[in-house]
Amino acid sequence: MAKELLEGNAAIAEAAIRAGVEAFYGYPITPQTEVLEHLSRRLPEEGRVFLQAESEVASINMVYGAACAGARVMSSSSSPGISLMQEGISYIACSEVPAVLINIMRGGPGLGNVQPSQGDYFQAVKTAGHGDFHMIVLAPANVQEAIDYVGLAFDLAEKYRTIAMVAADGAIGQMMEPAELPPMRPVRPPEERPSWALTGAKGRESNFITSLFLGAENLEKVNLRLQAKLKEIAANEVRWKEYSTEDADLLLVAFGTVGRICQTVVREARAKGINVGLLRPVTLWPFPSARLAELAQQVRGMLVVEMNAGQMLEDVQLAVEGRCPVKFYGRLGGIVPLPDEILPELDKLAAEVAGGEEG
Amino acid sequence: MATVEIPVDMELVYERPESLTEAHTHYCPGCTHGTIHRLIAEVLDELGVREKTIGVAPVGCSVLAYYYFNVDMAEAAHGRAPAMATGIKRVSPDKVVFTYQGDGDLAAIGTAEIIQAANRGELITTIFVNNAIYGMTGGQMAPTTLPGQVTTSSPTGRDIETAGWPMRMAELIGILPGAVYVTRQAVLDVPGIRRTKKAIKLAFQAQLAGLGFSMVEVISTCNTNWHMGPVEALEWAKEHMVAYYPLGDTKVADGVQALKGGK
């Protein structure tokens, strides 16, 4: 299929349709509303389910229900709405039913604003809900990746029977750029729903799906199973992209829109003679810690750049374990850091690590 | 449980409905949940829909209902059963979907979900068990606790000045256009149990006919947290609860009236 000029949110919505989503339950919130609007038109056209729920709380529980019924299902929201969904996310993770969630992140905390932000990194990768679990979190850096990761999110969610989130900042949701949509995947017919799903106990024992496990030993067993699954995901599904890292002395680490901006920073810095590379995590969870640990032995310092106060920074520090200095530059409130402000930070880091060597 | 051989000269007049499992329930002696479970199971059997039924259990005393109903079931977050049931029904329109909810679940934390599901006319059936108290957490004030009723969180009795009035959910839901059959019944004596079963059957029939949302509120007891014997609890409920929560239909849409056999 040819490239077309697509808006991020609409592209994400259409990508879900191409990925065979059977149902969408959601609630309007800026800057993700176009996902819901696009699906409100397209899903009925395709004979599939669209429902505008009364709240994000209801949306995620509708998703939970449809997932239990074995349907391919999703919701989308933006930061405050995701906060409202957290209880349901935890239930879905514990019940081990597959679901996909889109977060078009906006500025926070509180009502914040509707500017692009990466302030939900902690929430997405560490505190998605109560209890011990992680979502799989995919972070696109452009509209094409947003499209691709929607399909990937469904595949991963179903492969591991878990919840997968595509976390993009508002800039990716709102921007238009050329991208290519994948071909339409066939929708799985209801009679082919998984054997664990709630489809009516016809000619079999009845199924139940719960996240309640009374008795400490019982719940510990469930938790150990979930942990084993997370370990498997962490072993198999880490994804990242690298730019000019082969000979790099310094490393930029950034995801999403900032990761894309840092590609420009790498070009401009190299033109000035600074030997810098970029690692851009694609999966925020699982995090490319092992690769960062390797690079920490190659480079003399890292600069983490985010649209938050330093959230992914902590994961970089954990991966690096003090092997090299790790500096941070971030903008808050929905401000997107530009190459002109990142370059001086890189200069500072270059001077510092050079100075450290001389001393 | 071992199968019991029926002697040839005896007629089987009462047996476990297929829609119930053989599990012993965890309910307190004297609790009416068991009665209501059985009524639902009998109705599912009689309508021949057990194999296409999906139930949603609440958070509350009946949180483990999925062990007792021999149908596919999910366990919802507190108050969210109608949302979960909506999610299930929309992707499984040929299934029979019901929620089983208590008063804290439906009339406090889940008020938004039940009203919105009813208003959308979701083709689901809700069995709403009202016993005027939070049972599972040990007897706190519920949205349905009566004025002056003593609970562990209203130790001097429910004060309507500060806690507001008990919610009459059947009346509230009954005015919504999407709800086609809403009724309040009681399982406090045998005639009431029989009327409740009839109502539950009609509620499921309304769903099967594709008419809209249906709900049966069931006045029930909690002898444990009311600190009464089971018989005393039944009498107390008749005297006090039924006085505040009048029994009968609050909504019978034309289509349901036709199912009822006209009038």
The rounded mean pLDDT for chain A is: 97
Does the beta-carbon distance from A22 to B91 stay under 8 Å? yes
Pick out chain B residues at pLDDT < 50. Answer: none
CA B34 to chain centre: 11
Does the beta-carbon distance from B64 to A211 stay under 8 Å? no
Residue among A73, A201, A203 minimizing CB distance to B72: A201
Residue among B71, B75, B85 minimizing CB distance to A206: B71
d(Cα B223, Cα B30) in Å, to the nearest integer? 7
Residues in chain B: 263
Q: What is the pLDDT of residue B2?
A: 58
Does the beta-carbon distance from B91 to A66 stay under 8 Å? yes
Does the beta-carbon distance from A62 to B86 stay under 8 Å? yes
List the structure tokens of B205. Answer: 């029939």
For residue A91, give every residue at least 6 positions away whose Cβ sits within 8 Å of its Cβ, in sequence order, or none: A64, A129, A211, B77
d(Cα B263, Cα A186) in Å, to the nearest integer? 50
Backbone region of residue A110 per phi and psi (left: phi > 0; alpha: psi in -120 to 50; beta: other values): left
Q: Does A209 touch chain B (CB under 8 A)?
A: yes
For residue B96, give every residue at least 6 positions away whose Cβ sits within 8 Å of its Cβ, in sequence order, or none: B44, B47, B49, B52, B53, B54, B125, B204, B207, B208
To test the contact with chain A by mutation, choose from B53, B91, B101, B111 the residue with the greatest count of A C-beta atoms within 10 A, namely B91
Q: What is the pLDDT of residue A133?
A: 98
pLDDT band at A359 (very low <50, low <70, confident <90, very high): very low
To test the contact with chain A by mutation, choose from B63, B72, B109, B119 the residue with the greatest count of A C-beta atoms within 10 A, namely B72
Q: Which phi and psi (to 5°) does residue A94 adopt?
A: -70, -35
Q: What is the pLDDT of residue B7?
A: 76
Residues of chain B contacting residue A54, judged by C-beta atoms under 8 Å apart: 112-113, 116
Q: What is the pLDDT of residue B12?
A: 86
Residue among A25, A59, A208 minimizing CB distance to B73: A208
Does the beta-carbon distance from B75 to A210 stay under 8 Å? yes
To test the contact with chain B by mutation, choose from A59, A188, A206 the residue with the greatest count of B C-beta atoms within 10 A, namely A206
Do residues A35 and A27 lie in contact, with contact meaning Cβ atoms separated by under 8 Å? no
Chains A, B: CB contacts within 8 A come to 132
pLDDT digits (tens, 9 = 90+) for A242-283: 999 999 999 999 999 999 999 999 999 999 999 999 999 999
d(Cα B125, Cα B70) in Å, to the nearest integer? 17
pTM: 0.96
Does the beta-carbon distance from A66 to B71 stay under 8 Å? no
Does the beta-carbon distance from A201 to B51 stay under 8 Å? yes
Q: What is the pLDDT of residue A180?
A: 98
Crossing angle of helices A8-18 and A143-160, in 10° steps, is 40
Q: What is the pLDDT of residue B3?
A: 67
- Interface of chain B against chain A, CB under 8 Å? 21, 50-54, 56-57, 63-64, 66-67, 69-77, 80, 83-88, 90-92, 95, 112-113, 116
With vertex at residue A95, the alpha carbon angle to CA A92 and CA A96, rounded to the nearest 5 degrees, is 85
Distance from CA of A38 to the nearest CA of B (A): 19
Does the beta-carbon distance from B83 to A198 stay under 8 Å? no
Q: Does A64 touch chain B (CB under 8 A)?
A: yes
CA-based torsion, B104, B95, A211, A156: positive or negative: negative
Q: What is the pLDDT of residue A356?
A: 59
Does the beta-carbon distance from A208 to B112 stay under 8 Å? no
Distance from CA of B237 to the nearest CA of A (A): 31
Q: What is the pLDDT of residue B263?
A: 52
A286 has a pLDDT exceeding 90: yes
d(Cα B222, Cα B107) in Å, to the nearest integer? 17
Does the beta-carbon distance from B116 to A54 stay under 8 Å? yes
Distance from CA of A21 to the nearest CA of B (A): 11
Distance from CA of A228 to the nearest CA of B (A): 24
Does the beta-carbon distance from B70 to A25 stay under 8 Å? no
Does the beta-carbon distance from A198 to B75 stay under 8 Å? no
Do residues A84 and A26 lie in contact, with contact meaning Cβ atoms separated by under 8 Å? no
Residue among A68, A202, A209 minimizing CB distance to B52: A202
Residues of chain A contacting residue B98, judged by C-beta atoms under 8 Å apart: none
pLDDT digits (tens, 9 = 90+) for A60-88: 999 999 999 999 999 999 999 999 999 99
A217 has a pLDDT exceeding 90: yes
Distance from CA of A51 to the nearest CA of B (A): 9
Q: What is the pLDDT of residue B195?
A: 98
pLDDT digits (tens, 9 = 90+) for A299-317: 999 999 999 999 999 999 9
Instruction: Give a three-class secondary structure readout of chain A.
Output: CCCEEEEHHHHHHHHHHHCCCCEEEECCCCCCHHHHHHHHHHHHHCCCEEEECCCHHHHHHHHHHHHHCCCCEEEEECHHHHHHHHHHHHHHHHHCCCEEEEEEEECCCCCCCCCECCCCHHHHHCCCCCCCCCCEEECCCCHHHHHHHHHHHHHHHHHHCCEEEEEEEHHHHHCEEEECCCCCCCCCCHHHCCCCCCCCCCCCCCCEECCCCCCHHHHHHHHHHHHHHHHHHHHHCCCEEEECCCCCCEEEECCHHHHHHHHHHHHHHHHCCCCEEEEEECEEECCCHHHHHHHHHHCCEEEEEECCCCCHHHHHHHHHCCCCCEEEEECCCCCCCCHHHHHHHHHHHHHHHHHHHHC
Mean per-residue pLDDT, A117-146 = 98
A194 has a pLDDT exceeding 90: yes
Residues of chain A contacting residue B57, judged by C-beta atoms under 8 Å apart: 210
Does the beta-carbon distance from B90 to A23 stay under 8 Å? yes
pLDDT digits (tens, 9 = 90+) for B167-184: 999 999 999 999 999 999
Q: Is B106 helix (H, G, I), strand (E, B) or coil?
A: helix
d(Cα B72, Cα A168) in Å, to the nearest integer? 37
Does the beta-carbon distance from A202 to B51 stay under 8 Å? yes
pLDDT digits (tens, 9 = 90+) for A9-56: 999 999 999 999 999 999 999 999 999 999 999 999 999 999 999 999
pLDDT digits (tens, 9 = 90+) for B65-105: 999 999 999 999 999 999 999 999 999 999 999 999 999 99
Residue among B54, B66, B91 minimizing CB distance to A71: B91
Q: What is the pLDDT of residue B5?
A: 74
Residue among A68, A69, A201 minimizing CB distance to B71: A201
